[in-house]
Amino acid sequence: MDNALFELLRSVNTPTVCDALANLHPNRAFTAYTQGTPLATAPDAPPLVGYACTGKIAGRTPSVEQPESVRERRLAYYRYMAAAPKPAIAVVEDLDGNEAVGAFWGEINATLHRAVGVSGVLTNGVVRDLGVLPDDFPIIAGSVGPSLAFAHVTGFGTPVKVFGLEVKPGDLVHADRHGAVVIPPDAVPALHEAITHLVGAERALVDAAREPGFDIAKLEHAWSKFEKTRR
């Protein structure tokens, strides 16, 4: 991903990226995006764009391992996050799923991840400490809760599934308040042009609709022109 594409991706929302990727696939057969409704701690922040650093956590019940093992895995997890290619996004699956109660994500953990170079988080897990999280560290989570419960790291550096989206370590991810999408490597060379083309076509349609005297006849004409610009 070159700098020009990175800056463009940071300037558009995730729905735009999804539409551009769909236009690059025959019959719009692109499905590598989240499903469901996430919670964004910083809904007005620029989108997260980066390479996935994956982890798995749980917290509803205590770990059955020795405390020393749990501690060492946690530190190894932080080392893994620190060494990951940048820009990096932590993509962390809470294995408790819809029954997750352990708020692994709060002021302390957000600050630690930010300090080792992670840009933000995509997780189906629980977040807390709203209002005191780092301003420049967006977290897209599954729910809000007050308690750490028994939150602990169970693994890292393996494929995960968050909001129905399968993510592998190193995947290029775009995420914002709407959810997230994985950008396939084969789409990267054409993505800049695809996004620019899409944004221009959509802007022309919206601008036409805002013109004085816009009516159904003009809508049909504008829509015909819009359809010709789509792939």
Residues that constitute the known binding site: 128-129
Interval 113-139: pLDDT, tens: 999 999 999 999 999 999 999 989 999
Please report how the helices 188-209 and 14-24 are oriented relative to each other, as an axis angle in degrees rounded to 10. 110
Give me the pLDDT at residue 136, please: 94
Residues that constitute the known binding site for Mg(2+): 129
pLDDT category of residue 28 using cuts at 50, 70 and 90: low
Question: Is the pLDDT assigned to residue 228 strictly greater than 80?
Answer: no
Residues that constitute the known binding site for substrate: 128
Give me the pLDDT at residue 26, please: 73
Give me the pLDDT at residue 7, please: 96
Give me the pLDDT at residue 25, please: 85
Q: What is the mean pLDDT of residues 140-158?
A: 98
Interval 181-217: pLDDT, tens: 999 999 999 999 999 999 998 998 899 899 999 999 9
Dihedrals φ, ψ of 105, to 5°? -100, 115
Domain boundaries, the chain: 1-32+187-231, 35-183
pLDDT category of residue 1 using cuts at 50, 70 and 90: confident
pLDDT category of residue 225 using cuts at 50, 70 and 90: confident
At residue 95, the 3 state secondary structure works out as coil
Average model confidence (pLDDT) across the chain: 94
Give me the pLDDT at residue 125, please: 98
End-to-end CA distance of the chain: 23
Question: Is the pLDDT assigned to residue 27 strictly greater than 80?
Answer: no
Q: Give the global pTM.
A: 0.93
Please report how the helices 3-11 and 188-209 are oriented relative to each other, as an axis angle in degrees rounded to 10. 30
Instruction: Tell me what percent of the residues of the chain surpass a pLDDT of 90.
Output: 85
User: What class has domain 35-183?
Assistant: alpha beta
Closest CA to 5 of 135, 170, 194: 194
Tokens of 33: 């995006």
Q: What is the mean pLDDT of residues 65-91?
A: 97
For residues 70 and 133, give the distance between their C-alpha atoms in angstroms, rounded to a whole number. 25
Q: What is the mean pLDDT of residues 90-110?
A: 97
